[in-house]
Chains A and B, each alone.
Chain A
């Protein structure tokens, strides 16, 4: 069964520092993987997605993630944190069904704090 584990419920970095948010997945089939960001009292916004076309995926706001099959990981990175990056980040894997629909399995989320 598919599952997602996000290591670290809280991550704190200084402005300008590297951001690394960890995500490990479990999937019996080649996965579709996603990162979403949620700002306070807002819905989730898609940051980026992995669909097997390329292992390094670039997303919005300068974020990128690398799919590593051998490590079953899909960690999210950003070279230089900005104060506006403070938010909660969710990693997700999709479950596909023959009826033409899917479900997303979400990790527990990582809250990113950025300090001046």
Chain B
């Protein structure tokens, strides 16, 4: 069966510090991968998606970036965090040979102080 992991689970970082959030998927190959953010009162916002290694598409211009160095690894990064980057970050995957549903990881709670 497939599983998705995210770490860290929680993170408190000062403004201006770098960020690296990691997501890995097990039990599937060549998945579509997604990063979402949930900010208080703003619903789910798609940040990035990837259809393959090194292939990243950005949905929203911002100071965040994403990378996919391996087939089942998706990383969200920032060089300098802003207060507005605070939120709950969710990684999701979709199998190429499965339906159109996405499966979500447990999330990372980021607080920028």
A, B in one complex:
yes
Name B103's closest neighbour in chain A (CB-CB). A46
Asked if residues B43 and A106 are in contact (CB atoms below 8 Å), the reply is yes
Contact present for B100 and A32 (CB under 8 Å) = yes
CA distance A34 to B51 in the complex (A): 21
Tell whether, in the assembled complex, residue A49 and residue B101 are in contact, meaning their CB atoms are under 8 Å apart: yes
Q: CB distance B100 to A44 under 8 Å?
A: no
Q: Which residues of B are found within 8 Å of A32, using beta-carbon distances?
A: 99-100
Residue in A41, A43, A102, A109 whose beta carbon sits within 8 Å of that of B105 in the complex? A43
Contact A100 B51 (CB under 8 A): yes
Q: Please, how many angstroms separate the alpha-carbon atoms of A106 and B42 in the complex?
A: 11
Inter-chain CB contacts under 8 Å: number: 52
Q: Pick the contact of A44 from B49, B94, B104 — CB < 8 Å?
A: B104
**CB nearest neighbor in B for A109:** B43
Is B67's CB within 8 Å of the partner chain A? no
CA distance A107 to B42 in the complex (A): 11
Contact between B51 and A99 (Cβ–Cβ < 8 Å)? Answer: yes
| Distance of A29 Cα from B90 Cα, bound (Å) | 28
Asked if B76 is at the interface of the complex by the 8 Å CB criterion, the answer is no
Indicate with 1 or 0, residue by residue over B37-52, a CB within 8 angstroms of chain A CB atoms. Answer: 0000001101001010
Q: Which residue of chain B has its CB nearest to the CB of A99?
A: B51
* Interface pair B106/A102, CB less than 8 Å apart: no
Distance between Cα atoms of A96 and B49 in the complex (Å): 13
A34 and B46 CA atoms in complex are apart in Å by: 16
Contact mask for chain B residues 86-113; partner A; CB cutoff 8 A; 1 contact, 0 none: 0010101010100111111111010000
Cβ of A104: which chain B residues have Cβ within 8 Å of it? 46, 102
Decide if A90 touches B51 in the complex (CB within 8 Å).
no
Report B's interface with A, CB cutoff 8 A: 6, 32, 43-44, 46, 49, 51, 88, 90, 92, 94, 96, 99-107, 109
A selection of 8 A-B contacts at a CB cut-off of 8 Å is A41-B88, A44-B92, A44-B104, A45-B104, A46-B101, A51-B99, A102-B100, A107-B43
Q: Which A residues form the contact surface with B (CB < 8 A)?
A: 32, 34, 36, 41-46, 49, 51, 90, 94, 96, 99-104, 106-109
